[in-house]
Structure 1
Amino acid sequence: MSEKIYNKLVRDDIPKAIEENNKKCETEIVKGEELKQLLNEKLQEEVQEYLETNDVEELTDIVEVIHGILHHRNVTMKELEDIRIKKKEERGGFTKGVKLVKVY
């Protein structure tokens, strides 16, 4: 049997899906700083996948990782959205395509 080592954060139901495909996997539950690090790595991975594919579905993976980060930081989506709206009201969004070329 071939073995592949991942050592990365996966969606909660991935081990179940692996076993349903008649394979075995080894998992562990991580917490604290290790979880924070793995969530950050997962965010980078998902952003890279989006940049490579430009597939909107990859954005859902980014949002899911953000949900995970917020959960472990005890921040709600509403709190995040409130911060986003405040920042947008103060500085704008990214809908107009403004490219800053120079500042004098």
Structure 2
Amino acid sequence: MTPKLVRDRIPELISAHGERPRTRRLDDKEYVAALHDKLQEECQEYLSANTDVSAVEELADVMEVVRALAAVHGASPEALEVVRAEKAARRGGFLERIYLIDVE
């Protein structure tokens, strides 16, 4: 197994299966780097999902990483949502499925 950032309860769940996880706590710089890696991993898993159910599961994982990254930058999930909503009000969302081809 390649060392990687895991959810908080994963060592406990591994132990419950009779195995012994070796862990260490990351410093701030390592944590941010590991979150970046985890975001890439979770996005790739989402892109590889075969069903709507697995896609939603992977999107939930992406959101968990995004929430952790927001906290690193001093933002709560609620503050992140405020920024998202303000930006959507100014620039819109993606519901209209508009695909910009070019600008003349």
Once residues 88 and 23 of structure 2 are traced to their aligned partners in structure 1, the CA distance between those partners, rounded to angstroms, is: 40
- Which amino acid in 2 is paired with 1:45? E
Per mean C-alpha deviation after superposition, the further-off stretch among 8-17 and 61-70 is 61-70
Give ranges in structure 1 of 5+ residues lacking alignment.
none
The reply on whether 1:66 has 2:66 as its aligned counterpart is: yes
Q: What residue is the counterpart of 2:23 in the other structure?
A: 27
SS of equivalent to 2:40: helix
Q: How far off is 1:86 after superposition?
A: 1.2
Q: How far off is 1:59 after superposition?
A: 0.7
State the number of aligned residues.
100
RMSD value, Cα: 1.1
Once residues 20 and 88 of structure 1 are traced to their aligned partners in structure 2, the CA distance between those partners, rounded to angstroms, is: 44
1:1-104 correspondence runs (5 A): 4=1, 6-53=2-49, 55-104=55-104
SS of equivalent to 1:46: helix
Q: How far off is 1:93 after superposition?
A: 0.3
Once residues 8 and 72 of structure 2 are traced to their aligned partners in structure 1, the CA distance between those partners, rounded to angstroms, is: 14
- TM, length-normalised to structure 2: 0.90
Q: How far off is 1:9 after superposition?
A: 0.3
The percentage of counterpart residues that share the same residue type is 38
Q: How far off is 1:28 after superposition?
A: 0.4
Q: How far off is 1:99 after superposition?
A: 0.2
Q: How far off is 1:43 after superposition?
A: 0.7
- TM, length-normalised to structure 1: 0.90
Give ranges in structure 2 of 5+ residues lacking alignment.
none
- Which amino acid in 2 is paired with 1:53? A
Once residues 12 and 39 of structure 2 are traced to their aligned partners in structure 1, the CA distance between those partners, rounded to angstroms, is: 22
Q: How far off is 1:68 after superposition?
A: 1.3
